[in-house]
Structure formats: structure tokens, C-alpha cells
Structure 1
């Protein structure tokens, strides 16, 4: 399918690393301008420097804070699409969950998606060309073998999927295409900052699902999937797209694990 993203403006939450930065690279390569949102100025500045100031801008914003979200969106002169990618996880068995970490995951992964969609709709409604919203879910919302002890993360992503179904129906009359993208595991820095004891416990529980895991997917595969769904013509939208690795290998031990 021919790309038609030239000159369009897309806002990407969690855009300074991982899937978000990979998505930004893919869209810039197709001629789009990206607005990156993130909590830390340093990584955002580095991402803009890599992508080029002519192709990318960045705003510091905590998407779990509705006031900050509204302020950022109110300052945008134009918007053709929103990619809700910001997300965080903190592993832990249910009985050991820490209330603050539960709230952080719910606020960032689910409420952040809600707040950004609310703020984006009026801007996208003004754009009758081909406005889009892409909400990034996770295969862990449906597949128990992605990783163990991520119950809250998986639950927030399941909530994003249910929310996206209603969102699609509500904005159809405005010509806004809505997609839920459900990626599987890929090698990123997503697990940075996780508690080592909780990760070890999660690994041990994960091994009970079987000795093998699927591998072979990179953040770039998710990025190309986003670019693909954005390229459909007006009146056509991908409702749900799941992209997962497809090469079975033996699971690494905790000691031999790679970044995930």
C-alpha cells in the first residue's frame, strides 16, 4: 500500500524510547512530522536530535495528569493522528502488589490513554482528511505465556482494548479511524527499573507455562505496523491488529535473560 503520510503531524506518547521511538523513526521516514511526549526532557531531546528538528518536536508531559495533557494538546496548531504508546509495568504476585505501583500502572496505561484521546478528538475532528487514533495494547492482555506476575499491566491493557471499542463507535461520524494494536514481546528497555526480586519471582512462575517462548520481533516491526494502519484511505480502518514473534526458542534462565 502506498504511504500517504507526507507532511502529516502525529503525536506519540512515550515517544523517547522503545516502541515509541521506533514508531517515530518509521513515520519520519515516510515524511511525517512527529510530536513526542514523555516525562523526561533528556531522552526527549536526544530523540529529537536523532530524528532532526525539522521532523520532530517534543513536549515534557505526564499523560496520567489530565491538566498537563490538556495544556499540551491546546498548544498544538495541527494534529492528524494520535498514537497512545506510553506504558509502564511493575511485576509482582497479586498478594505482594504495592498500592503505589498499581496506581501508577492504571494511571499511565489506561487513564493516560483516555485523557489523550479526550484531548485529541476536538483537534482531529477539525481535520477531515484522514484523522487517526492508534491505541497500543499488549499481547499480555490475552496471552498468559507472555510473562508471569504482570497482572495489573495486562489488566490495564485489556481495559485499553475495551475502551478502544467504544471510542471507535463514538468517533465514526467524525471520520476518525481508530485502531487497537496488540504487540507481543520485543527487545527494548521496557523492564528498566524493575525490582530484581520481583523479576526473579516472575521468571520462576513464567517457566511453569512451558520451556519455550517465541522470539524474533523487534520494535521496528511494531513501528511498521503502526505506519501501515495509518496509511489506509479515509473510510477504512484496522480495528484490531496483533503482531507477535514467531520463532520458538528455549526460555532463558533468570541469570541469562536479555532485556525485555
Structure 2
């Protein structure tokens, strides 16, 4: 039997759009309150307004800065009076072939996707310790393991593989504090994740991706990932979902792209 999420408090990073926004919204629908974190204050304010100011509280934060993360997490716990869990969803990707990788883009992906996850976990542990059934959920990607995902995302996929390996050690360490750790690995879904990608780099990635096969798995919605996260968070104390992969189960011809 799972525990409900009503009256519990969670921090969701990267919560202004895509998976993060869907996760925050679904948590509120199930009775939880949510600390919404994103890099841009305007985007944070918009997400809070969409979901409801009475259930959420937002803060702009660069998860790649450990100092900012510690400060914001402490403020969110103080605002809500408790903290029951963290969903590390913040992430970014910049497509490019390995030969043409840009140093600043590589560093930004590592800083946000991997180090951001590490820094957020570090900040959350002391705030979650001794809580009632505390949880950490780290969001990975099917790109870390499956060859049929989008091409030219080598750095993004590598950072997500690192998140999974990091989560294994985190799970073992936090068993002593009875903090459950879950890694959720989503497949392809229709989101605005690719907004802002360089058009030439994206064209090259799409060309390589089409050459890898005629079909793709597609058709999943961000809400499907949100449901998986809520399932993991709602497990009873002493039980944790270790790794949960959620992928679409529908073949779509790549010719439509």
C-alpha cells in the first residue's frame, strides 16, 4: 500500500516547463505543496501562477551553484515549514557532433545536469533527515542507454548516465537515514525541451537520427512522467523504487519529422 502525497512538501527543479511543470502540477493535484525552482524568475512566477500561489512557492536558482542551491532550499523549507522530498529534474541539452562540440556548451550541460543534481542532493539531505518518509527522485533519460533516441546528444546522455551512477551510491548512503532514492528514466515525450537549439546543429542531429532507423518510440506526454514520479514518492516508508524507466510504446515513422 502506498502513502498519499496530501499535505507533503516537495521541491522540483526545472519546474517552469516540460516534465518539471507537469510533475509540480500533478503533485499539487494530489494534495501536496511544491517549491518551484527554475533559473529564470519570470518563468518561475508564471509557473506559480498557473498551478496556484496557495499551493506553490517559487525561487529563481542556478542549480549549478551550490551556494544558491543551499540558500534557496533553506528558504523553501522555512516557507513551508517542512520538506518531504526533492525531484531533481533541471537539465539542458545542446545537440552537436562530437567533433564540433563547443566547450562552453559542454561545461553548461555538465554543470546543470550532473553537478546540479549533486549539489541539490547535498543541500537536501540535512533538510530531509529525520523526516517522515523522505524521498529524492533524480530524473535521468532514455538517451543514456538507448541508441534509438535523438542523435548528437552525447554530452547530455553522458551526464544522465552519470546521474544514474551517482544515484546508486546515494541510495546506499541514505539508507541509514531512511531517505528513499529513485532514478526515473523517461523516454521521448512531446515537450518544449528543444526550444532554443541551434537550427543547423539540430538539422545535423535529425539527419543522423533518421539514418539510425525508420521508426521511433513516441507518443508519451509529460504527465506520464509525472505519474511515474508520484508513484515513486508515494511508496511506504522502508520501500523505494530503485530505477523506473517509462517509455512510449508506439512506433512512429521518422518520415513525419
Please state which band the TM-score falls in when normalised by the shorter chain.
over 0.9
Match status 1:183 vs 2:192: no
Contact 2:190 2:219 in 1 (8 A): no
**Structure 2 residue aligned with 1:117, among 116, 121, 140?**
121
Aligned to 2:69: 69
The runs of 5 or more residues in structure 2 that have no matched partner are none
Measure the CA separation in 1 of the matches of 2:89 and 2:35. Answer: 13
Provide the aligned length of Structure 1 versus Structure 2: 253
Given the alignment of the two structures, is residue 173 of structure 1 paired with residue 185 of structure 2, yes or no?
A: no
User: What is aligned with 1:85?
Assistant: 89
- DSSP-derived class of the 1:126 partner: coil
User: Partner of 2:117: helix, strand, or coil?
Assistant: helix
Q: What secondary structure, in the 3-state scheme, does the structure 2 residue paired with 1:119 have?
A: helix
Tell me which stretches of 4 or more aligned residues in structure 1 moved more than 4 Å: none
Deviation at 1:126, TM superposition (A): 3.1
Most deviating of 129-138 and 72-81: 72-81
Shift of 1:51: 1.1
Superimposed CA distance per residue, residues 151-176 of structure 1 (whole angstroms, 9 cap, x where no aligned partner) = 00000000000000000000001010
1:215 is aligned to 2:218: yes
Contact 2:2 2:236 in 1 (8 A): no
Q: 241, 244, 252: which one pairs with 2:244?
A: 241
Question: What are the ranges of 5 or more consecutive residues in structure 1 without an aligned counterpart?
Answer: none
| 1:147 equivalent among 150, 171, 183 | 150
| Residue 118 (structure 2) pairs with residue 101 (structure 1) | no
| TM, length-normalised to structure 2 | 0.96
Does the 8 Å contact 2:214/2:255 carry over to 1? no
Number of the residue aligned with 1:12: 12
